[in-house]
Amino acid sequence: MTVALCCSAPPALAETQPSNIVLIIADDLGVGDVRYLRSGPFATPNLDRLSRESTLFTNAYVTAAVCSPSRAGLHTGRYQARFGHDFNPGSASDQAEMSLPPGVPTIAGRLQRAGYFTGLIGKWHLEGRRAGASPLERGFEHYFGFASGGSYILNPKEGDLLLRTEGEPLERTRSQGFSRMGSPVEIDAYKTDVLNREALSFLARADSEDRPFFLVLAHHAPHVPLEATKAYVDRVAHIADPRKRAYAAMVTALDDSVGAVLRDIDRRGLRDDTLVLFVSDNGCPPYIAEVCSNAPFNGHKRDLGEGGIRTPFLIRWPKGWKAPRTYSQPVISLDLGATILGAAGLEDQVEEIDGVDLRAPVRNPSTPAHDALYWRAGTDFAIRKGDWKLIEVDLPAGVRKTFLFNLRRDPSETRDLAGSNPGKAEELRAQWNRWNAGNTPSRMTGRVTTTRIAGVEVLARY
């Protein structure tokens, strides 16, 4: 299959126009830092509002514990192991391979071919050094954003808070990395505010299009660097620790953007027929673990513990979504792509991806949406089936270690049951091996760090 290019003419739409779609992606936002899931020192009133108007998925995952592979799954609706995209780039050769293979269709490309006006505002992180890797060549008609990272503030002013975290360069990056329709641009304003304004501009332009729209607003916040303007810092002045205050200010800015988008959709009279989805690309990272939260789970970004792969997960669709207030069966970010295709009237294409259109499962909350969920990061892997989760990784000494957890009884993964339940461990390992047999070996080498699972020091590949 080929991917539609940006300039292809949209086909005529059906007489009944499909729903508009807005997907909002946070960056490194842990499940412990949204107030509708867990209390904390700062507020997220707009996410709280969205949660009251949405179905809450309380057992939700992403496909990877780091940004690029997680986004590969989000943008395609397929496990990224299908096409060997296991890691963030860790070398020059990885950088060359990080773009999506040309034969892998994106959700945006499918929607563009169906006549949607498609736009990406924010982080892409799938643009390697090869032709055809730009968002404009992967289904997005409009693009304003950045490839991976960059600063939030170009020219700091009095009262702004900019803090260096462990592992960051001594010299701060003096660029936000923005590109508008493929051309570099610098804008001297707070990065989160810039992305918010661009999203509202896209919605205004969509008003003049005689077709439905698909907007992906992929924020950088609250990913490091820890940078926030005085306007946001002052709103969390009660937080004494400057690092925690900077992080809280960044989440506050993210939350404000969510509210602005929701209000704009409402003001335009689009609320009932606009599908709004919210997710984070992975959990919060270990290098700022003292200021962010994946509670009540152990693990962080970069590892396959629950804290690294659990995510806030909301779906609001007043017209097309007849669902209970909460859904507690395990779901995964791939399901967002499948549900988006269903909302667009492309149900026949759902079978081509790995996600599940959640409109049917949520009507029967006792029925699982999936038989099992899978993760792969090179030789590290995990599988969840029912209440059971198996993780297999290397120890620093080079030997393999298998962990088995019952997540219903032990959601924080503190009690390894592999020794007392060898049959269950072998069953899950065999099922993961069958799933992985048809996948592509990783095209990237990634990096290695250490972490702890159930008190044991292990290696984690990312």
Distance CA 145, CA 183 (A): 10
**pLDDT tens-place string over residues 348-366:** 999 999 999 999 999 888 8
Longest dimension (CA), the chain: 63
Structural domains of the chain sorted by starting position, each given as residue range(s) with its CATH number in brackets: 20-363 (3.40.720.10), 373-461 (3.30.1120.10)
Left if phi > 0, otherwise alpha if psi is -120 to 50, otherwise beta: which for 203?
alpha
**pLDDT tens-place string over residues 109-168:** 999 999 999 999 999 999 876 778 999 999 999 999 999 888 999 999 999 999 988 767
Alpha carbons within 13 angstroms on the beta-carbon side of residue 430 total: 6
pLDDT tens, residue order, the chain (462 aa): 333 333 333 333 344 578 999 999 999 999 999 999 999 999 999 999 999 999 999 999 999 999 999 999 999 999 999 999 999 998 888 888 889 998 999 999 999 999 999 999 999 999 876 778 999 999 999 999 999 888 999 999 999 999 988 767 666 667 889 999 999 999 999 999 999 999 999 999 999 998 999 999 999 999 999 999 999 999 999 999 999 999 999 999 999 999 999 999 999 999 999 999 999 999 999 999 999 999 999 999 999 999 999 999 999 999 888 777 899 999 999 999 999 999 999 999 999 999 999 999 998 888 899 999 999 999 999 999 999 999 999 999 999 999 999 999 999 999 999 999 999 999 999 999 999 999 999 999 999 999 999 999 999 999
Decide: 385 and 428 in contact? Cβ < 8 Å.
Answer: yes
Cβ-count burial 204-219 (b if 16+ within 10 Å, e if not): eebeeeebbbbbbbbb
Beta carbons within 8 Å of 456's beta carbon, 6+ residues apart: 395, 401, 403, 416
Beta carbons within 8 Å of 192's beta carbon, 6+ residues apart: 152, 219, 220, 221, 250, 253, 254, 256, 257
Average pLDDT, the chain: 93
User: Hey, is 95 helix, strand or coil?
Assistant: helix
Distance CA 144, CA 149 (A): 14
